[in-house]
Amino acid sequence: MSFDIALSLRRGERSLEYAFTAGSGLTALFGPSGAGKTSLLDAIAGLLRPDKGRITVGGTTLFDSAAHIDVKPQKRHCGYVFQDLRLFPHISVRRNLAFGRKAYGGLDWDHTLDLLGIGGLLERMPATLSGGEAQRVAIGRALLSTPDFLLMDEPLASVDAARRDEILRLVERIRDEMRLPILYVSHDRAEVERLAQTIVPV
């Protein structure tokens, strides 16, 4: 299984419960804004600690309250594409991409730039990028960390309508060519039906 999740966590006054398993490919968390999808991604990445339960990705247990397992975020080998992108505004695209990049055994730099079509953006600053360009850079930074799995939180949120299909085709290429387990958050039915092997209502 790519994802085997059974956990509960608290956000303010709310208690959130999640339980699902998913096979290979892209798994979409589908539901309205405020349903707790991002909280689940944060828990899987290790940025938010569940009250109880377990998180297993690709056969590796990242969290198990009963067994007292809680792998540190930096040891979870997770690529996270945040909804608000979180590019460093004070450094160039090249340096954003290099942040967290593995020096040895990582993805090929030139191949990744070609896959994402961002080779011509390297000397630009994040503030000069369009929404689609910034999203591709954020995806590139996540991939160059050589993750074991990828979390994508509303990756089309900052992309205008004209660029949506471009990013969708890019996600399809990552899904099909890199074969990483992907957990993908969206509230757009057509988007998840196009991309996902498994859809989990949240």
pLDDT in tens, 111-166: 889 989 999 999 999 999 998 899 999 999 999 988 999 999 998 887 887 788 88
Res 106: pLDDT:
59
Judged against a pLDDT cut of 70, whether residue 104 lies above it is answered with no
User: Of 4-13, 37-46, 99-108, which gets the smallest average pLDDT?
Assistant: 99-108
Note whether 97 and 137 are within 8 A (CB). Answer: yes
| Domain at 3-201, CATH homologous superfamily | P-loop containing nucleotide triphosphate hydrolases (3.40.50.300)
Judged against a pLDDT cut of 80, whether residue 181 lies above it is answered with yes
pLDDT in tens, 78-91: 999 998 888 999 99
Note whether 11 and 39 are within 8 A (CB). Answer: yes
3-state secondary structure of 81: strand
Instruction: Tell me how far apart the alpha carbons of residues 195 and 184 are, in angstroms, rounded to a whole number.
Output: 9
pTM: 0.92
